[in-house]
């Protein structure tokens, strides 16, 4: 379990001292999902802990985002650890946000350095965001990873929102196959007069014709100004988390 929270602990060490500031906010989220795939005869599971801190800078329109995720995947009678940490610089022009990010990804002991660009279009009751990312490994035996992802959220009511994600990733010679295409849907309910959100979601991934389904539930805690409408996606498609955050 300690491996699961290392990235989030590092995130909070940076972000918690400034939570009291009015221009800083974010969220923590715990997710549990079952996994059903074409490789194994029994269902397995993933537990993920993720967090984000977003702070507006004194320079008009500029903000920083720190996000981290740690997850343990139990499958094939083994446990696989994944972790990710990212730093984003975002310029908010009102309805449109653009940004760039960098970070590190560890997938079951293999390290990758991330980099990418992203953009988001905000509406009165929703957001559409997209990112293009690459990840290179110091291990010369592994090809670079590239991924394209898109997310969308829409507020049905003041307390209920729905979301969707889609991504396409080329893992090169790492993992089960060269190409992974995924899509997912989720719903979230913000408990009235509280800082807590509960959610449920589904994600399906195709590994070169082999299907993997995630079905999960989550609980989240929002602090400060929260992350809703400000969070950028980064390379979230590289982490096996069944629920799209925000």
Q: Which helix (H) or strand (E) holds 56?
A: strand 44-56
DSSP of 140-151 = TTSPPEEEEEEE
What pLDDT is stored for residue 20 in this prediction? 42
Output the six-digit token pair for 68.
């981290």
Q: What is the pLDDT along the chain (246 residues), one digit of tens a residue?
A: 445 445 555 545 554 454 444 488 999 999 999 988 766 555 688 899 999 999 999 889 999 999 999 998 887 677 888 899 999 999 999 899 999 999 999 988 888 999 999 999 999 899 999 999 999 888 766 778 899 999 999 999 999 999 999 999 987 776 655 788 999 999 999 999 999 999 999 999 887 677 888 899 999 999 988 887 788 999 988 887 656 544
What pLDDT is stored for residue 42 in this prediction? 58
What pLDDT is stored for residue 91 in this prediction? 96
| Helix/strand/coil for 176 | coil
Task: Tell me how long the chain is.
Answer: 246
Q: What is the pTM of this model?
A: 0.85
**Which residue reads 């290392």 in tokens?**
6
Arch. (CATH architecture) of 2-238:
Beta Barrel (2.40)
Hey, where are the domains in the chain? Answer: 2-238
Please tell me the distance from the alpha carbon of residue 111 to that of residue 90, in angstroms, as a whole number.
25
Please tell me the distance from the alpha carbon of residue 68 to that of residue 3, in angstroms, as a whole number.
12
pLDDT in tens, 48-101: 999 999 999 988 999 999 999 999 888 767 788 889 999 999 999 989 999 999
What pLDDT is stored for residue 4 in this prediction? 45
CA 123 to chain centre: 21
Please tell me the distance from the alpha carbon of residue 73 to that of residue 37, in angstroms, as a whole number.
13
Please tell me the distance from the alpha carbon of residue 222 to that of residue 196, in angstroms, as a whole number.
6
**Which residue reads 């905000």 in tokens?**
122
Output the six-digit token pair for 100.
């760039």
Backbone angles phi, psi at 232, to 5 degrees: -105, 150
What pLDDT is stored for residue 130 in this prediction? 96
């Amino acid at each position: 379990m300690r491996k699961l929270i290392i990235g989030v602990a590092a995130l909070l060490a940076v972000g918690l001292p400034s939570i009291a500031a009015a221009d800083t906010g974010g969220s923590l989220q715990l997710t549990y999902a079952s996994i059903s795939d074409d490789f194994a005869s029994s269902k397995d599971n993933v537990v993920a802990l993720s967090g984000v801190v977003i702070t507006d800078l004194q320079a008009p329109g500029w903000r920083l985002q720190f996000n981290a995720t740690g997850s343990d995947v139990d499958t094939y009678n083994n446990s696989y650890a994944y972790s990710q940490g990212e730093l984003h610089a975002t310029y908010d022009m009102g309805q449109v946000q653009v940004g760039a990010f960098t970070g590190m990804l560890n997938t079951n002991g293999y390290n990758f350095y991330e980099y990418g660009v992203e953009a988001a279009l905000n509406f009165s009751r929703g957001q559409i965001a997209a990112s293009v990312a690459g990840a290179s490994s110091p291990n010369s035996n592994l090809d670079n990873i590239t991924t394209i992802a898109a997310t969308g959220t829409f507020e049905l009511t003041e307390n209920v929102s729905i979301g969707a994600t889609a991504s396409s990733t080329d893992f090169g010679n790492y993992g089960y196959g060269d190409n992974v295409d995924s899509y997912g849907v989720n719903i979230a309910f913000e408990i009235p007069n509280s800082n807590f959100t509960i959610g449920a979601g589904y994600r399906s991934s195709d590994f070169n014709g082999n299907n993997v389904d995630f079905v999960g539930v989550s609980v989240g805690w929002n602090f400060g100004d929260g992350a809703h409408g400000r969070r950028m996606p980064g390379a979230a498609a590289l982490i096996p988390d069944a629920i799209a955050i925000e």
